[in-house]
Structure 1
């Protein structure tokens, strides 16, 4: 059964209009809570991590778990490296570039062998993790929140592909790629 796109937007509408819950303010008062919510507050992280999940869902097979696992491992390693003073040149443009690349891969619907998908997703995640050099609790929360965003992308890929069409997943990727391009141009 295919759901019309208008029904999907009508169902998601209340989620976008909802006011923040009071429990969220209590959660973000801690380092873990601040890290947990960081991937949803920073648009580059939100889009990039969801794009990683979308691409994993598009690739299917073992990529469904290997791509997210590799991305989260690379994200954690980059966050730890930044915490201990390792510098990554061009980290800002790299973050925008990761949106452009991951969004472009989703938009094109490019399916690659699992090894290549793991490497690309891990490289993209390095730029997201490197930006986080907070306390241990913050890094743990950021890793947990990032995992949730990647899983959200994975679920979105499945829901859109089955409920609407695989083309809807590609359109989401095009939006992420466009955001990455605008970020690179400094207009985002």
Structure 2
């Protein structure tokens, strides 16, 4: 793998923690910060979002933007349901399964049709969005909170895309092995989340 690809992936990942404070004037600051911090503060959300980006990178073409866009749109709808107090069964199970399934898709280098991949990430996005919305603090502004969790999600998708594209540009068998290994580790973490040991 080339040093340029490694630097690109490391740079994208290094920006994630500091980005929470990049827009403190947007809307209600506490709502934005709470919204931004929710996706980046849990292993389940981080792994699922990064795997969406990595899966999109593996599929290539229109999937590069359609999978993250589908996830974000459906997640926003799920967030609205959570804020409204609409019950959604098995949210935690759905979130754990998202890590397991998306990690396995990357590990197995799954080549799904675009519509099927969009349906899969959309289903999981509903659970993630509902969790974000249901856990919104009472004193947080809804719009600022929503913008925060959407921006954090977009950055995590971007990190997955950078990782996947960087490793594929590095070419060769080593890049594929590293990417598939990352997917495998995420799938194992998803199994641990599902079993309640993580």
* Length-normalised TM-score, structure 1: 0.85
Cα deviation, residue 3, structure 1: 2.5
Cα deviation, residue 162, structure 1: 1.9
Task: Specify which of 168, 172, 175 is matched with residue 182 of structure 2.
Answer: 172
Distance in 2, matches of 1:94 and 1:169, equals: 24
5+ residue gaps, structure 2, are 137-141
Counterpart in 2 of 1:129?
129
Cα deviation, residue 41, structure 1: 1.4
Counterpart in 2 of 1:151?
158
Counterpart in 2 of 1:138?
145
3-state SS of the aligned residue for 1:109? coil
3-state SS of the aligned residue for 1:105? helix
Q: How does 1:111-130 map onto structure 2 within 5 Å?
A: 111-130=111-130
Cα deviation, residue 25, structure 1: 10
Q: How does 1:1-188 map onto structure 2 within 5 Å?
A: 2-3=1-2, 8=6, 12=10, 24=21, 27=24, 30-133=30-133, 134=136, 135-163=142-170, 164-188=174-198
Runs of 4+ in structure 1 off by over 3 angstroms are 23-29
Counterpart in 1 of 2:139?
none
5+ residue gaps, structure 1, are none
Distance in 1, matches of 2:191 and 2:62, equals: 30
Cα deviation, residue 24, structure 1: 4.1
